[in-house]
Amino acid sequence: MTHEIHYGKADVSTYRTYATPLRGLRPVAGSAFTGRENVIMAADLEVRVLGGSFWPAYTKGDNSLVVATDTMKNFIHRESLAFDGSTLEGWLFFVGRRFLETYPHMERLEMSGRESPFHPAQVPTANGEGTEDSTVLFHRGHGARATVWLALDRSAKGDVTVTHHKCAREGLQMMKVSGSAFADFQRDEYTTLPERKDRPLYIHCDIGWKYQDPMVAIRPDTAAYVAPEQVGDVASTVFHQFVSLSIQHLLHEMATRMLSCWPQLAEVSFDAENRLWDLAHTSERDERVKVYTDPRPPFGRLGLVLRR
């Protein structure tokens, strides 16, 4: 028999205040995002430990090397206090490296994080003539968020390295009322869908990317860092500008634009769903005026991975 094991702690909610601000990003066309203050840097973190050292706990009930998952939770919280970086990737690498440094019998591990975004509230300026971002009040976001997964191992020299990784902007929901089409597709006796030369289009979309060198996302110098906010902005800009003939056509345009914007990326990926609303009524006076309702499942699902 062969075996693979892992254990760890998931959904470790962590709210770090006054982290290092994210600055020094390279501007990209289609996004006005240039950084964030990181007054609140929050995420649900997970650690998964792998390797043969813990096999006796499974076969003999020998817990002598087992680090309790509650200890892992406490470790994440304590070490997050010492983190001096500005990105989710850097945060996960810092905590993961500290795990491997503190517990030598942990052979390798995986760290993942799902951002819990908080956005500054808009408040009146001191002179009352406009508004500005509050430095103390924040609203919790419930839309798109960043996710990161890192696999960490020790090199031959004993250094901790990133062996695999994936970054993502998940939970994007975008609706375009005109400028999309779906027509000239194959038809047979099973086909009932009408062709649309111009249609509204509502999609749910997760966008992933991988760096040619994952340490680009971890080093203090953020000039080559790809911010999730920029990725979402570029996707929105493409959706706004591009007249697509299908969702596949749209995803390919988004992917090529991303690889053009960021030569440091090795791969981009998309997982999208067609959530176009069902039409309920159309105005007799103006055909642009319509009432829609949420669609019933099933939903069309589409994917794309584009590598250099």
Q: Which residues are catalytic?
A: 9, 69
C-alpha span between 95 and 79 (Å, rounded): 6
DSSP 33-47: ---B--SEEEEEEEE
Q: Are strands 196-211 and 160-182 parallel, antiparallel or unpaired?
A: antiparallel
Strand partners, 146: 169
C-alpha span between 300 and 179 (Å, rounded): 19
C-alpha span between 275 and 173 (Å, rounded): 9
Non-local (6+) Cβ contacts of 220 within 8 A are 85, 90
Phi-psi region of 146 (alpha: psi -120 to 50; beta: other; left: phi over 0): beta
* Widest distance between CA atoms in the chain: 77
Percentages (nearest 5) of helix, strand, coil residues in the chain = 25, 40, 35
Q: Looking up tokens 């375009």, which residue turns up? A: 176
For residues 165 and 195, the answer to whether their CB atoms sit within 8 Å is: no
Distances from the Cα of 252 to the Cα of 7, 228, 249, 263, 305, angstroms: 38, 19, 5, 17, 9
